[in-house]
Copies of this chain bind each other. A is one copy, B any other.
Amino acid sequence: MQNLKNHLKTISKFESAVSLLSWDFETYMPPKAAQKRAEIIGEIAGHAFKLFTSDKTGLLIEKAESEASSDIDKAVIRVAKKEYEKAKKIPPELFKEFQITTSKAQHFWEIAKNENNFAIFQPHLEKIVELTGKIVDCLGYKENKYDTLLDQYEPGLKTSQLKKIISYVKPFLVNFLDKIENGTKPDDKILTGDFSIEKQKKFSEKILDFLNYDKNAGRLDVSAHPFTITIGAFDVRITTRYSRSDLKNSIFSTIHECGHALYEQGIPEDFRELPIGEGASMAIHESQSRFWENIVGRSLNFWKFVYPTFCEIFSEFENVPVEKFWKAINKVERSFIRTEADEVTYNLHIMLRFEIEEALINNKISVKDLPVIWNEKMKEYIGVIPEKESDGVLQDVHWSHGSFGYFPSYMLGNLYAAQFYHTMTKDISDFDERILQGDFKSILNWLREKIHSKGKIYEPLELLKNVTGEDLNPEYYANYITKKFTMIYNL
């Protein structure tokens, strides 16, 4: 067991180097270094992959299996074995072809998006769908090809379960969106203007302090697309972005990434460098970022607490009542872009993508028809049709990465967050009051004890049941949305 752990920890150190090389790529690297840097990352990541897929790993897992006694050791073996067997099933040539294809595709996706022309991206996406199908064939599947893709991000969740959840959430959201039309629309003009980057930076740093992000074990930088990355033990970094004209962007990016980082900073030290030393799944991770961003960060009490600090930095808001500000940041809109979507429409954007992915991988639709299908679904779910492909089918980078199966994590994260929240308020009955007092520590402690401290020991649905006593139940999400937006829209 110790030999297996040492082997995995060695591999993890090469992955740490890859993380730092990637972080630097997005933050501080001089522009001319990009091409060589990609080669360096490829070399080190390839080495880590080779070490992990070596026969040595298989042998060590086999030997350790007979020794493992503690739950932690068993979990280490379970996660490592699953990853190992998966990696061994994909022929290296196919893996390499997939990497080369997606690396090219990203380039052409960017061009296609800039030129607002799906045809440029189409052949690359077709190739990716084809190779993804081959990979699924290698990995195997029972009911639905999409199960295999979903399992990469949300181990244990089946496509059929996801469809069932959507069959509840979709009509709820479509109806609620209609209902909101009759409410009082918040005025969000106050959120546009010219906001100093220095001030936004200062406020972002303040938020991190309020939310108990450990800056001695992390840091905040700037990148084009905000992200959280764990370089190694005591080194969980986040990035945000600042726009002079858009105040919301940096604030909620920072809180969102802080949510991810609090999860990572809460992983027990003795799980580090092992396969259990990370979040339970992509969606559990997203539940943490969404919890802090939306359930805490877009609540009235949160803003009542931070507003004095906020107004001290942004004196232009001194005469804006906090309720008005709170409503403004929660304005619901039938809009085109997922990343800018509010809490009500966000999941509709995800369902649309899931349905397209699931149909693509099962050969029920063709890549060439995506622009039309996209717009039809936009009309059906959100009620608006983008005028440009760059605001529609070309808006997300994910498909160019070949990340099919990833999008549902965003929706599941919202549902998990609402369900955790429901359970939490049973344990912390004065939740609202604590937020109002700025006591985020007791809330974080609850998440630490119930979720963060478990690392990847449990599969996500198992963890959810351990914490909430229930299977995934989308009603908590629906109740949360209904309650909150009924208030904001005076329904």
Q: A14-B43, A20-B20, A43-B13 are in contact. Are A36 and B233 (CB under 8 A)?
A: yes
**How would residues 208 to 244 of chain A score, 1 for a CB under 8 Å from any chain B CB and 0 otherwise?**
0000001111110100000000011111010000000
In angstroms, Cα B21 to Cα A13, docked, is 11
Q: Decide if B10 touches A43 in the complex (CB within 8 Å).
A: yes
A36: which of B14, B24, B232 is its contact (CB, 8 Å)?
B232
Which of A25-33, A78-86, A160-168, A171-179 forms contacts with chain B?
A25-33
Q: A20-B24, A21-B20, A24-B20 are in contact. Are A232 and B40 (CB under 8 A)?
A: yes
Q: A33-B217, A217-B33 are in contact. Are A44 and B235 (CB under 8 A)?
A: no
Q: Does A37 belong to the interface (CB within 8 Å)?
A: yes
In angstroms, Cα B220 to Cα A30, docked, is 10
Q: Does A17 belong to the interface (CB within 8 Å)?
A: yes
Copies of this chain: 2
Q: Decide if A235 touches B14 in the complex (CB within 8 Å).
A: no
Q: Does A39 belong to the interface (CB within 8 Å)?
A: yes
Q: A40-B232, A232-B40 are in contact. Are A21 and B30 (CB under 8 A)?
A: no
Q: Does A289 belong to the interface (CB within 8 Å)?
A: no
Kindly provide the distance from the CB of A323 to the nearest chain B CB, expressed in whole angstroms.
38
Q: Does A345 belong to the interface (CB within 8 Å)?
A: no
A16: which of B40, B215, B231, B234 is its contact (CB, 8 Å)?
B40
Q: A16-B40, A40-B16 are in contact. Are A32 and B234 (CB under 8 A)?
A: yes
Interface residues on A, range: 35 or more
Q: Decide if B33 touches A235 in the complex (CB within 8 Å).
A: yes
Q: B residues within 8 A CB of A237?
A: 30
Q: Decide if A17 touches B21 in the complex (CB within 8 Å).
A: yes
Interface residues of A in 160-216 (CB under 8 A from B): 214-216
Q: Decide if A36 touches B234 in the complex (CB within 8 Å).
A: yes
A40: which of B17, B36, B218 is its contact (CB, 8 Å)?
B17
Q: B residues within 8 A CB of A33?
A: 217, 231-235
Interface residues of A in 1-58 (CB under 8 A from B): 10, 13-14, 16-17, 20-21, 24, 28-33, 36-37, 39-40, 43-44, 47
Q: B residues within 8 A CB of A30?
A: 215-219, 234-235, 237
Interface residues of A in 234-256 (CB under 8 A from B): 234-235, 237
Kindly provide the distance from the CB of A222 to the nearest chain B CB, expressed in whole angstroms.
13
Q: Decide if B17 touches A44 in the complex (CB within 8 Å).
A: yes
Q: B residues within 8 A CB of A32?
A: 214, 216-217, 234-235
Apart from A33-B231, A36-B232, list 9 A-B contacts with CB within 8 A. Answer: A17-B20, A30-B217, A30-B219, A32-B234, A32-B235, A36-B234, A36-B235, A36-B272, A44-B44
16 A-B residue contacts at CB 8 Å?
A: A10-B43, A13-B39, A13-B40, A14-B47, A28-B219, A30-B217, A30-B219, A32-B216, A32-B235, A33-B232, A36-B232, A36-B233, A36-B235, A36-B272, A44-B44, A47-B47
List the 4 closest pairs (A to B, CB-CB), nearest first.
A32-B234, A33-B235, A13-B43, A36-B233
